């Protein structure tokens, strides 16, 4: 299977999604949108993964490629291929599907519990997930659930943590792909965001329980296996 990633910053790559793909013998490629590389047509991949980034999805003047990316995401969805959006990627995906994005009440940075909704537990994408689980977060904006999509997850700080559209399209506001290395990268490049707040942890707190990363990867692998099984 051909897995293609869309990258918005040099320090936000696939994380443990790459480990999942390599372990299963899938082919990996990516487009550095921040460097001017274009989004491929759906015929070039079997599974599209849209990663995070530090920008807001409406900053068209600073990042003019965002408009083209949203159009490419709409094509990806219409193609029937699995699409996974993570953090900024989920916001872009939601907006492309008619769910606008706005600033959240509080920034959410660190490890916080996520709860599945009743509808979320019935989706194929989240088959095998527990009712609640700790996930990694690093966001200030939030998306509205797109028309026709299922609200799949919520947290105390953010009501809309995940959505599922047509079973094969998933947007995650939180991160399941985070590894110690990828956390270190975002922690280094986005350290200015680590200010006092009710849902903002320090880097020391974020790395205090190493076992969390392995638990997170189990959930990631479950989600990706579920989505890959739906690929045409």
Q: Which of 12, 69, 108, 177 is catalytic?
A: 177
Token pair recorded at residue 223 = 């989600």
185 is annotated as an active-site residue: no
The owner of tokens 């999604």 is: 17
Buried b (16+ CB within 10 A) or exposed e, 15-36: bbbbebbeeeebeeebbebeee
Nearest C-alpha neighbor of 80 from the set 139, 167, 174: 167
> Are 159 and 171 within 8 A, CB to CB?
no
Active site (annotated) includes residue 175: yes
Q: Which residues contact 159 (CB under 8 A, 6 or more apart)?
A: 142, 151
**Identified catalytic residue from 39, 87, 153, 158:** 87
Residues with a catalytic annotation lie at 87, 175, 177
């Amino acid at each position: 299977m051909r897995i293609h990633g869309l990258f918005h910053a040099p320090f936000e790559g696939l994380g443990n999604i790459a480990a999942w793909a390599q372990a299963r013998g899938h082919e990996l490629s990516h487009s550095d949108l921040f460097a001017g590389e274009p989004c491929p047509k759906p015929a070039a991949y079997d599974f599209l993964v849209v990663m995070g980034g530090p920008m807001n999805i409406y900053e068209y003047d600073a990042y003019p490629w965002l408009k083209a990316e949203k159009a490419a995401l709409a094509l990806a969805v219409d193609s029937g291929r699995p699409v996974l959006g993570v953090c900024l990627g989920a916001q872009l995906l939601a907006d492309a599907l008619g769910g606008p994005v706005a600033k959240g009440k509080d920034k959410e940075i660190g490890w916080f519990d996520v709860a599945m909704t009743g509808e979320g537990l019935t989706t194929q994408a989240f088959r095998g997930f527990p009712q609640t689980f700790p996930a990694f977060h690093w966001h200030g904006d939030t998306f509205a659930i797109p028309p026709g999509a299922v609200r799949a997850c919520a947290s105390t700080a953010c009501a809309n943590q995940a959505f599922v559209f047509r079973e094969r399209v998933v947007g995650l506001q939180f991160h399941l792909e985070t590894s110690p290395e990828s956390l270190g990268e975002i922690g280094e490049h986005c350290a200015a965001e680590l200010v006092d707040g009710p849902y903002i942890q320090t880097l020391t707190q974020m790395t205090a329980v190493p076992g969390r990363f392995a638990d997170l990867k189990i959930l990631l692998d479950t989600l990706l296996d579920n989505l890959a099984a739906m690929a045409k």
